[in-house]
Amino acid sequence: MKQQLHDIFRRRHACHLFMADRALAREDLEFVLDAGRLSPSSFGLEPWKFIVLTSPKLKLAMQAACFQQPQVGTASALVVILAKLAELEPDSDYLRRLMAREYPGDALEPALTNYRAFHAGTDVKAWSITQCHIAAANMMIAATGIGVDSCAIGGFDAGQVRALLKLAPQSYEPALILALGYCAQAAPEKQRLPLEELVEYR
């Protein structure tokens, strides 16, 4: 199992041009999405929403919002990962429902008090976006494991994305766009710094 996982990490790469005419099977797409759903999140709040685009018209419109990056328009599917904002407010029904699940019974009120203090002292939008990146990473690894290529798109005009998807700015912030499909180019050799340069034991 260790070697299998290591091979998946080594195979994963950013695909910059997909086979536009090769569709992604629905069951494979849902497998990747489920990896995002099952990802860990702080307080167990699952602060993400996934909007899947498969329409050629919508993908080309999204490509324009992503500075014309070709992987966006050629992908079989785009997963727009949205960071929740309004639902993370301390008194929202969503927040209370998920906190009650994570902190049942008498543990709930102290947990809510702790969360209110955290929320008041935190850049919640930035925090929610970083949580979404955890889900994105898991989705990319899951995709690689079943032979699907991916590319994480962080370069986009958030205002254009919100307008295209008709998102209320107080409700969601675009966190990342995940392009999925089958790469039209051979994967480059993986280039990474060695562990010795990155890790310090103390």
pTM for the model: 0.96
Average pLDDT over residues 156-170: 97
Mean pLDDT of 176-185: 97
Question: Exposed/middle/buried for 131, CB within 10 Å: 0-12, 13-18, 19+?
Answer: buried
Tokens standing for residue 47: 């602060």
- Residue-level pLDDT at 166: 97
Per-residue pLDDT at 90: 96
Mean pLDDT (whole number) for 43-67? 97
Give the per-residue pLDDT at 173.
Answer: 98
| CATH homologous superfamily of 11-87+120-187 | NADH Oxidase (3.40.109.10)
Q: Of 101, 103, 130, whose CA–CA distance to 114 is shortest? A: 103
CB-based contacts of 95, cutoff 8 Å, min separation 6: 45, 87, 88, 89, 115
pLDDT digits (tens, 9 = 90+) for 14-53: 999 999 999 999 999 999 999 999 999 999 999 999 999 9
Listed by start position, the domains of the chain span 11-87+120-187
Q: Say how far apart CA 45 and CA 96 lie, in whole Å.
A: 10
The pLDDT of residue 179 is 98
Quote the mean pLDDT of the chain.
97
Question: 90-124: per-residue pLDDT in tens?
Answer: 999 999 999 999 999 999 999 999 999 999 999 99
